[in-house]
Amino acid sequence: MVDIAFIGLGAMGSGMAANLAKAGYRVRAFDLVPASIEAAVTAGCVAAPSVNQAVSGADFVLTMLPTGAHVLDVYQQGEGVLAHARPDAALIDCSTISVEDARAIGEAARADGFFMCDAPVSGGVAAAAAGTLTFMVGGSAAEFEKAKPVLQAMGKAVIHAGQSGAGQAAKICNNMLLAISMIGTCEAFVLAEKLGLDAKAFYDIASQSSGQSWSMTSYAPVPGLVPSAPSNRDFNNGFAGALMLKDLRLALEATHHVGMTAALALKSEEIYSEYILKYSPSRDFSGVIDMLRNQ
C-alpha cells in the first residue's frame, strides 16, 4: 500500500486527505488541532501524533498549510519533514506561498535528494471536498510525473506550470484576478439590489452574459443562488479574507520585483484589509459584499 503523510487538515486539507483515503492510499494525518485529526480518522485516514511520525517511512508527504512561514517551519524544524522523510519520498506542498519560499524549500529538499513539487490549488473548499481541484505544479518533468497520480485523486485538472516555483507564480496571478473579480461581482450585486433588481434575476442574466465569472457562478456572494457558496453559511468555512489578503500581498510583492504597477490589485488590497479589520480575518472573502453594501 502507498503511504501518504498529510499535514494540515484545515478547510482545504480535510477534504483532500479524505479523497486520498477514498482512493485507496493509507493517509497518515497530522494537524496541530486534535479535532481535525479525529475528523480525518472518521474520513478514513490514520491518526499521526506528530510531523515526524507522519512522514517517517511515507512514500509521499503532502502539506496544506496557511503560509510560507508554516511550510518552512514544518519542513525545516528539527522534527520536520526534511529530517525525517524517507530519502526517496516525494514531497508536495499544496499551500499558497511566495515563489521565493517555494524555490527555497524546493532547493533545500533537492539538496537532500528528495523529489519536490510546489502544487498550489484552485477551486475552494467545495472542490477540495468533491475532489475537483485544479493543481498547478512547479518542478521538473520527472517530479511532475511522480506527483501526478496522487494529485489526480484530489483534482479534475493537474497542470505542469514549469520548473520549481512556477506553480506558485500561476497561483498568485490567478488569485490576484480572483481578488479583483470578487469585488467587482459584489459591487454589481449591491448596485442591482439598490436599483430594486431581484438578486436571482440578476444572477440568471449575468451568469449567462458577459459579466459571468467564477466569483459569480461558483461563489455567488448572495445566498440562495449557488448552494455550495459560503454566502449560504454566513461566510463560514470558506476562503478566509486573511488568506485572500495574504495571496494578494504575494502578488503585489511580485509586481514590485518585476517593476510593474497593478492599480486594481493595489485598490483590492486596501478593500480586503479594511474588510478583515471590520469583520473577521476568518470570514470568507466574498463576505466583503456586506462591507460594500453598508458603505
Task: Enumerate binding residues for ligand NAD (CB under 6 A).
Answer: 7-13, 30-33, 36, 64-66, 70, 73-74, 95-96, 121, 124-125, 238-239, 243, 247
Q: Where are the beta strands (DSSP E) in the chain?
A: 3-7, 26-30, 46-47, 60-63, 90-93, 115-118, 121-122, 133-138, 155-162
- HSE toward the beta carbon, residue 85, CA cutoff 13 A: 30
Which letter does DSSP use for residue 5 in this model?
Answer: E
Q: Is 137 helix (H, G, I), strand (E, B) or coil?
A: strand
Catalytic residue among 148, 156, 171, 194: 171
**Complex with ligand NAD: residue 202 or 219, whichever CB lies closer:** 219
d(CA 182, CA 142) in angstroms, rounded, equals 36
Least separation in angstroms between CB 76 and ligand NAD: 11
Considering beta carbons, is residue 30 or 189 the nearer one to ligand NAD? 30
Residue whose CB is nearest to ligand NAD in the complex, by number:
10
Residue 138 vs 238, nearer CB to ligand NAD: 238
DSSP states of 65-93 = -SSHHHHHHHHHSTTSHHHHS-TT-EEEE
Instruction: State the Cα–Cα distance between residues 295 and 293, nearest whole angstrom.
Output: 6
User: Torsions phi, psi of 141, nearest 5?
Assistant: -60, -40
CB-nearer residue toward ligand NAD: 202 or 231: 231
CB 16 to ligand NAD: min, Å: 9
Active site residue 156: no
We find the least distance from the C-beta atom of residue 51 to ligand NAD, in angstroms, to be 6
Element (H, E) at 258: helix 241-258
> What are the cell numbers at 266?
493595489
The minimum distance between CB 64 and ligand NAD, in angstroms, equals: 5
CB of 165 vs ligand NAD, minimal distance in Å: 15
Backbone torsions φ then ψ of 244, nearest 5 degrees = -65, -40
Nearer to ligand NAD, 118 or 202 (CB): 118
- Write out the catalytic residue numbers: 171
